[in-house]
Amino acid sequence: MKFFISVDMEGISGIVDGTMVSRKQGDYERGRKLMAFDTNACIEGILDSYPKAEITVSDAHGGMNNIDPTDLDKRAVLVRGSPKPQSQMAGIDSSYDACMFVGYHAKKGTLEGVMSHTYSGGNIESLHVNGMEVGETGLNARIAAHHGVPLAFLAGDVATTKEAKEVNPGIVTVAVKDAIGRMSAKCLHPEVAREEIRKGAANAARLKLKPMAIKAPVELLIRFTDARRADAAAFIPTTERVDGKTIRLVAPDMIVAYHGFIAAVLCGTAVS
């Protein structure tokens, strides 16, 4: 059995604001340890169910070099660094049986979602895939689905577990914190959170889920936070301008769509 774990940082247990998720902040070293330990709990859970499972971990936050490789359970392989094809999902292919998301956060604008945003908080107001608004959970679950891999497990705050159930009702979720506001939450003790993640991942690993269906071609509506960013992204060939802040991109499959989205984000960043 092969499992793929994508790990973001805003939904890690105990983290509620920017002080632990940015390299420039004083509490970052603590944040990256918490990130590694939630990830290790997920690895242990999978191995509880399948002791010989092959596990790949993809660091999916910021520069994607947050987990200290020496902190990670040595039974997993770590994908790190940026930029790279498939971004937060780099490393996945059709050989995996299931994927799991740890430390994930809700899409931009979610009520009571800790550090809610959609891929690039300063750039992206919203993202629609084939008419449905998605956050990173919905977007990355579709990348897994492109490879025929189902999303089986998610750990994050309460809002993100609800978002994940909308993506795939059959998955196992673990809420490690409950937001009070965008930068505040009631948090489980990290050790308690890890026990829950381990149990949840063990159960999720045994699920036999089907990957979600994706219609081709894939249409993206990418709405920026201001028109200048959309001006820049509209230079990407084949895009159409929908309105001041929004571009439309149609791609033959989900991977090309994802890469087009990332290109649009980089264009927006270039003029910020």
**Cβ proximity to Zn ion, 45 vs 135, nearer residue:** 135
Query: Contact positions toward Zn ion, by CB under 5 A?
Result: 8-10, 61
SS (H, E, C) the chain: CEEEEEECCCECCCCCCHHHCCCCCCCHHHHHHHHHHHHHHHHHHHHHHCCCCEEEEEECCCCCCCCCCCCCCCCEEEECCCCCCCHHHCCCCCCCCEEEEEEECCCCCCCCCCCCCCCCCCCEEEEEECCEECCHHHHHHHHHHHCCCCEEEEEEEHHHHHHHHHHCCCCEEEEEEEEEECCEEEECCHHHHHHHHHHHHHHHHCCCCCCCCCCCCEEEEEEECCHHHHHHHCCCCCCEEEECCEEEEEECCHHHHHHHHHHHHHHHHHCC
State which residue has the least CB distance to Zn ion: 61
User: Which candidate, 224, 225, 230, 220, places its Cα nearest to that of 260?
Assistant: 220
Cβ atoms < 10 Å from Cβ of 52: 7
117 in active site: yes
CB of 262 to Zn ion, least distance (A): 14
Q: How far is the CB of 28 from Zn ion (least distance, A)?
A: 13
Closest to Zn ion by CB, 62 or 217: 62
Quote the least distance from Cβ 257 to Zn ion, whole Å. Answer: 20
Taking the complex as a whole, the smallest distance from the CB of residue 174 to Zn ion amounts, in Å, to 18
Nearer to Zn ion by Cβ, of 22 and 49: the residue is 22
Compute the distance between CA of residue 90 and CA of residue 183 in angstroms, rounded to an integer. Answer: 29
| Residue with Cβ nearer Zn ion (9 or 102) | 9
Which CB, 66 or 173, lies closer to Zn ion?
A: 66
Minimum CB separation from Zn ion for residue 258, in Å?
Answer: 16
> Among 61, 105, 117, 146, which one carries the catalytic annotation?
117
Active site residues: 117
